Structure 1
Amino acid sequence: MPRPLENLRVVDFTHALAGPYATNVLAQLGAEVIKVESPHGDLFRAYGDDRELAKLGMGIPFVGSNAGKKSVSLDLKKEEAREIVRKLIAESDIVVENMRPGTIKRLGFSYEVCKELRPDIIYCSISGYGQEGPMRDYPAIDNVVQATSGMMMVSGSEEDPPIRVGVPAADTYTATMAALAILAATTQRARFGTGQFIDVAMMDASLIFMYGSTAQYAATGAEHKRTGNMGFSGQPTSGLFRCSDGHLVSLGVVQHNQWVTFCKAAKREDLLEDPRFNTIYDRIDNAPALVEIIEQLFLTKTGEEWERQLSLGGVPCGMIRTVSEAMELEQVKQRNLRVPLNIPGMPNADLGVLGTGFLFAEDGPAVDGPPPFLSENGEEILSMLGYSNQQIADFLASGILQPSKKPETAK
């Protein structure tokens, strides 16, 4: 059985992270994704901590979100290049772009133009604030949208300054929403034969990402208070506790049945008889006393011991780890989240990328190969579109098509 998006072709005008990660999901689900890049290429090609790879156009952030795609680099300021792209779109199923609103239209590839080329095209535009509205033209990147969306004001405690989430959460969740919307539109077209225009905004995605806070505001107009490392429930049994080896454990006991389970799993059934802690509200009212008891309790064992004992006893509980520690867990390894990747001829050629984060029983997501060098597939793509070898040579000579930047050592 083929993967879900086999035989679908995506024209990918995206760069940086939000767009490329969305099309990365489509690629892993089986779509043929063709990056249409400028002569300079995706800016993330020269980005990241590994400067040697970045100089070769294989920056780590680029590798992570572009594995398995194809690349053609065209000078879209030239009409001949735009005609090549029009032919490509006419033979494709999906178009994705994440330029500033209005830019793709000026290049000649608006949804209206693409719909004329292919009436049932699925077209997804990703931007900071959406295609309409008073903030439409504001430039946006992840940390900016974290600020404007309120995301920097949901972490930490009430007295803390704004805190940026330490990963590009706005970019990543925007990409996830875009991939979801494209998949929904693909299903819609398969059932009803219609194309679709999709408008995805980083601002909207960020507000949905903060559902615990924004849903409350949407319902009541009240803003949820910042709770630091304590869960939204406000329960004193939903927070961090230090163990005998110095590790911190996050406890998630928020419901009464979980409190009963916790007392039994921790061998402290006596707390169930203490009238100060009979109900959820009793435990909140007597939080200082209960926190002191639990703090002393956790100091009797190591973090791993408490994590295992409580988790096996049915208590939501987990030890704080670094990202590297989490990635090296046997549980994570068995789920094949890290996919080995080799880029022939490159220094540090044996790398790894992330899968989609979900598993199928069969014919599920897969990484088909390394990311492309700039315009690595240009001649192949033009040949597929019916251009002759002489035409392709002429395009290369005139700068309409950029030559492959794949180094000889990688061939």
Structure 2
Amino acid sequence: MTTDALAGLKVLDLSWVVAGPLIGRTLADFGATVVRVESSVRVETARLMQPFHGGVQDKEGSALFGNCNAGKLGLTLDLKSEEGQQVVRDLVAWADVVVESFSPGQLRKWGLDYETLRAGKPDLVMLSTSIAGQHGPWSTLAGFGNVGSSLSGFQHLVGYEDRLPMGTFGPYTDYVGPRLALVTLLAALENRRRTGEGAYIDVSQVEAGIYFLSPQVAQFGYDGTIAERQGNRDQQYAPHGVFGCRQVDGKDRFVAVVARDTAEWRALARAMSRPDLADRADLATVEGRRAAQDEIESAVAAWTSGLAATEVERVLQSAGVPAHLAVTSDDYPADSQLGHRGHLVELPHPRHGTTWVEGPRYALSETPGRPRGAAPTLGQHNEMVLTEILGYDAERVAVLTEGGILR
């Protein structure tokens, strides 16, 4: 019999867009009750971001918002009002965890910062996520993960050495930060279970991003080397690249190929019908292949250009060479590996009939997670949260409604 790993955990989610909501989404997947607070007046940015159901912008139809908030309960509140702030305090008293991503200092202005809240709840675990953390000269910097990617160094490093930086696609640190934040949050909960002590976690997206550039940072500390763009090449493996293939239905297609050792290199060369390259002594070491990268990449590109990407993938994988076509949005839903793992999950949706979200990133044997339902529509669970979770009576709910607080 399986159980939910986080059954009984109560979470107040005051975050928005991607970096914060993904934390609450994972907690909800594994059984936590997550109450997501937002406003229908200042609409959450992710609700207005594509892709949309049917390709039409609709604040209830964003696939991005739906993916980041599946399984949560939705409550709309005017957080600028004293009445709305009191509802939040009541939710804090109910919750085990608070996750927030307001601009640093905003919650303090409302009297909802950690130091104030912990006075009435010493075992509170609270996590704040922002671009550069809650303190320091860059703490008030506004922006999304693309700014975090630039500050952490990724924008400079991604691209070709003889061209301008391309940067990573999208707000990279919005997706890196939550992974480190989640582990830290679970550690804080385990510590509270053992000691009864709460914790405050200050997550900087920039620092989370830098963690993933540890080798480059360490090398600079060691010998002063400043990492530079190198296209699709790698410092350890050669060849290592993405190569153009024959067009399919008028569309360019590509395949990623790498040889991690001499055996894989020789298998690649033979698969290309190039025994002359496979048998060359100067290419038997990675140093030799790195010295001849231009020649090798030209040979691989000449071979792949005459074949479909799927054929290149099939031939090389059969030969024991790591290779995979560069997946497009059209390929993604039919990917056999993602299908096998149940990565895409169809859920009923109150506005669109059904919707699709990604499944949990973690496959746990005894306590498997799953999305519990579609992301909430604006104010979908107002009455449930206020009456069933907070125990408000009908009169108090009516006062909040008539006063414009639940919006």
TM-score, normalising length: structure 2:
0.89
| Contact persistence 1:261–1:315 (CA under 8 A) | yes
Which residue is equivalent to 2:28? 27
Relative to structure 1, the CA distance from residue 76 to residue 296 in structure 2 (aligned partners, 3 Å threshold; closer, same or farther) is: closer
Relative to structure 1, the CA distance from residue 158 to residue 293 in structure 2 (aligned partners, 3 Å threshold; closer, same or farther) is: closer
Pick aligned residue for 2:405 from 400, 406, 409: 400
Aligned-residue offset at 1:150: 2.3
Aligned-residue offset at 1:54: 4.6
Relative to structure 1, the CA distance from residue 58 to residue 117 in structure 2 (aligned partners, 3 Å threshold; closer, same or farther) is: farther
| Contact persistence 1:227–1:234 (CA under 8 A) | no
Q: How does 1:246-261 map to 2 (within 5 A)?
A: 247-261=253-267
Matched, 1:307 2:313: yes
| Contact persistence 2:70–2:375 (CA under 8 A) | yes
| Contact persistence 2:146–2:170 (CA under 8 A) | no
Runs of 5+ unmatched residues, structure 1:
403-411
| Contact persistence 1:71–1:378 (CA under 8 A) | yes
For residues 313 and 116 of structure 1, what CA distance do their matches in structure 2 show? 64
Which residue is equivalent to 1:406? none
* CA deviations over 1:147-201 (Å, ceiling 9, x no partner): 3332211111122112132222121112222222212222222233322111111
Which residue is equivalent to 1:368? 372
For residues 308 and 40 of structure 2, what CA distance do their matches in structure 1 show? 56
| Contact persistence 1:338–1:352 (CA under 8 A) | yes
SS at match of 1:323: coil
Percent identical pairs in the alignment equals 29
Relative to structure 1, the CA distance from residue 218 to residue 333 in structure 2 (aligned partners, 3 Å threshold; closer, same or farther) is: farther
Which residue is equivalent to 1:391? 396
SS at match of 1:117: coil
Runs of 5+ unmatched residues, structure 2:
none
Aligned-residue offset at 1:234: 6.2
Larger CA deviation: 365-374 vs 306-315: 306-315
Which residue is equivalent to 1:6? 7
For residues 178 and 215 of structure 1, what CA distance do their matches in structure 2 show? 23
For residues 85 and 242 of structure 1, what CA distance do their matches in structure 2 show? 54
Relative to structure 1, the CA distance from residue 69 to residue 146 in structure 2 (aligned partners, 3 Å threshold; closer, same or farther) is: same
Pick aligned residue for 1:349 from 348, 353, 359: 353
| Contact persistence 1:89–1:117 (CA under 8 A) | no
Matched, 1:142 2:141: no
For residues 51 and 289 of structure 1, what CA distance do their matches in structure 2 show? 47
| Contact persistence 2:63–2:357 (CA under 8 A) | no
Which residue is equivalent to 1:114? 117
* CA deviations over 1:24-75 (Å, ceiling 9, x no partner): 1111121111012235242323333538875454433221211111122222
Relative to structure 1, the CA distance from residue 318 to residue 214 in structure 2 (aligned partners, 3 Å threshold; closer, same or farther) is: farther
Q: How does 1:210-229 map to 2 (within 5 A)?
A: 210-229=213-232
| Contact persistence 2:159–2:167 (CA under 8 A) | no
For residues 189 and 295 of structure 2, what CA distance do their matches in structure 1 show? 56
Matched, 1:240 2:242: yes
For residues 200 and 91 of structure 1, what CA distance do their matches in structure 2 show? 23
Aligned-residue offset at 1:138: 1.3
TM-score, normalising length: structure 1:
0.88
- Aligned partner letter, 1:333: G
SS at match of 1:81: helix
SS at match of 1:249: strand
Which residue is equivalent to 2:289? 283
Relative to structure 1, the CA distance from residue 398 to residue 295 in structure 2 (aligned partners, 3 Å threshold; closer, same or farther) is: closer
Larger CA deviation: 300-309 vs 178-187: 300-309
- Aligned partner letter, 1:21: L
RMSD: 2.5
SS at match of 2:115: helix
For residues 209 and 100 of structure 1, what CA distance do their matches in structure 2 show? 24
| Contact persistence 1:86–1:117 (CA under 8 A) | no
Relative to structure 1, the CA distance from residue 167 to residue 46 in structure 2 (aligned partners, 3 Å threshold; closer, same or farther) is: closer
